[in-house]
Amino acid sequence: MLSFKSLAFAAAVAFGALSTAFAAPAVVGSEVVARDLVAARGVAVILTDVHTKIQPHILELNSLVKANATVEVVTPIVVEIKGVVVDAVVEVIALAGASADVILAGVDGGVQVTVAVLAQIIADLLILVFGALGFVLSICADVTVMIPCLCIVADVIGCLICAVFSLVGSLLVGIIGAVVVLIAAILPVIAQLNILVLVNVFAGVKL
């Protein structure tokens, strides 16, 4: 039976070979393979993975009632979400030098994502997060106290989406406009939390 290590190695080599036609590392050390494996995750997969990982925490936010919609209860939840998002930001930034077929790799590893497909993935993530943050704002007793707490996660989501836009902007022309039309419902929450990176990027879009 193959050990986990050799299975992981085989998977990494296969994944690396599929993801890039040009990479031909002279030395196939486990370090090199591990980095290729990480680099093989395109933006669509990274964002979909964030969506899945933060879902339980979003459910917690959506379970709040006025009595427990407090900074004490909300802070550990948003800190958990922030941790997931920060990892994704690092991963997106690391894709900067990758080829378009890696960056735009489809979720199923097949066809590359289009403007419409990636816009939907981005919009779904923004609606998931800002929908929950807007809900918390709507039930909490003191909005002024709650806003800085919600910005713990809102700011890093803004950071993630801007990193994605700057990475794919020249590959998928019109991506920002395609996202904006999908997220009309949560634009007021983004404005209320004053997430400048998003406010500015969306304000620049001509609809």
Ligand X SMILES: *[C@@H]1O[C@H](CO)[C@@H](O)[C@H](O)[C@H]1NC(C)=O
Closest by Cα among 2, 150, 144, 185 to 75: 150
CA atoms of 55 and 72, how far apart (whole Å) = 20
* Residue whose CB is nearest to ligand X in the complex, by number: 68
CA distances from 139 to 62, 127, 143 (A): 10, 18, 9
68: contact with ligand X by CB under 6 A: yes
| Minimum distance, C-beta of residue 142 to ligand X, in the bound complex (Å) | 17
65: contact with ligand X by CB under 6 A: yes
Q: Residue-wise over 8-34: b if at least 16 C-beta within 10 A, else e?
A: ebeebeebbeebbeeeeeeeeeeeebe
72: contact with ligand X by CB under 6 A: no
Beta carbon nearer to ligand X, 49 or 80: 80
75: contact with ligand X by CB under 6 A: no
x/- string (CB under 6 A) for ligand X, residues 98-137?
----------------------------------------
| Minimum distance, C-beta of residue 65 to ligand X, in the bound complex (Å) | 5
| Minimum distance, C-beta of residue 68 to ligand X, in the bound complex (Å) | 4
Beta carbon nearer to ligand X, 52 or 63: 63
Chosen residue from 73, 115, 127, 199 binding ligand X by CB under 6 A = 73
Which range touches ligand X (CB under 6 A), out of 20-28, 64-72, 110-118, 141-149? 64-72
Which range touches ligand X (CB under 6 A), out of 63-71, 95-103, 106-114, 123-131? 63-71
71: contact with ligand X by CB under 6 A: no
Q: Give me the half-sphere count of Cα atoms (radius 13 Å) on the Cβ side of residue 33.
A: 16
Q: Confirm if 85 and 153 have CB atoms less than 8 A apart.
A: yes
64: contact with ligand X by CB under 6 A: yes
CA distances from 80 to 52, 84, 85, 159 (A): 13, 7, 9, 16
Which residues form the interface with ligand X (CB under 6 A)? 60, 63-65, 68, 73
